[in-house]
Amino acid sequence: MHNLLKTSLLSTLLISTYALANDPVQERWTIDNLHQPESVVIDATDNSVFVSNINGAPAELNGKGYISRVSQDGKQLDQYWVEGLDAPKGMAIVGQHLFVADMQTLHMIDIPQGKIVKQFSVPNAKMLNDITAAPDGTVYVSDFLGGTIYRLHNDQLTAWFNSEQIPYPNGLLWDEDRLLIGNWGTEINPDFSTKTPGSLYQFKPNQKSLSVIPTGFELGNLDGIAVAGSSLYVSDWISGELFKLNNKERTLLLTLPKGLADIAVAKDTLYTPRMMENKVTAWAITNK
């Protein structure tokens, strides 16, 4: 496991501009026959959209969770594409495999077959949450309540990173040479609210350095992270706010009801799982 060797926090924070959107988003479609959709990921090979459905309490082991498959124009292709999961959340695609974080288990699904072909157990995990993959196929998984990020490399899933500054790592995104980490906040309450809002961090493994993204300082209860062009998109689950971070500016793009979860961006479309409303909405966005 990596130990933090160099940290840059408040000393690196720059004054950022907070703005309301001057490039408003426009709704493309909404699909609403889902069950607590938590994460969306896009399969670039056929432009289909995978949606994880918790279908129960966020930490419930009920076997009712499932993955849906939707077209990019919002048509349901197979609502119960893969069933029998517990509380599936974050997902990532590596080659022909879809990886799904599900409490204490990381599932590997063969996409052409539409079935689970391998499972990795993490008995000490409290709630596996988000997943991202590096270009070399290495998979990273956050344990939201356990404060740890795991790494799947050469078929071995091991604890890889933790930091006192990120007690509740949620959203993950591998971007070039860095791992972006969305912290939920500090001192979490039973309703998942926190004493202080979470910040967006970047960890650079080659330099073993952790720092706050200046425009992401104390941004909210961070869940999803996506990148398009030079912009980052970040969701706040509690407030339902969606932010666009670009250079020294952060822009509020959307305010939705509570439950804005693990977002995704493909080209000029932003996908928002609206967990507490049982729906997913796609929006047209401007990337610049």
Per-residue pLDDT at 32: 94
Domains of the chain from N-terminus onward: 21-284 (2.120.10.30)
Per-residue pLDDT at 78: 97
Residue carrying the six token digits 């507490």: 276
Per-residue pLDDT at 17: 36
- Between the alpha carbon of residue 175 and those of residues 105, 231, 234, the distances in Å are 25, 11, 14
Per-residue pLDDT at 287: 67
Do 288 and 231 meet the contact criterion of CB atoms below 8 Å apart?
A: yes
- How confident is the model over 19-43, as pLDDT tens digits? 445 557 899 999 999 999 999 999 9
Per-residue pLDDT at 164: 95
Per-residue pLDDT at 25: 87
Residue 19: which residues within 8 A CB-CB, separation 6 or more?
249, 250, 251, 252
Smallest Cα–Cα separation from 244: which of 266, 219, 273, 267? 219
- Please tell me the total number of residues recorded for the chain in this structure: 288
Which residues, given as ranges, of the chain have pLDDT below 50?
2-20
Per-residue pLDDT at 3: 43
Give the helix/strand (H/E) hosting 142: strand 139-143
Per-residue pLDDT at 121: 96
Do 153 and 138 meet the contact criterion of CB atoms below 8 Å apart?
A: yes
DSSP category for residue 13: -
CA–CA distance, 231 with 218 (Å, rounded to integer) = 18
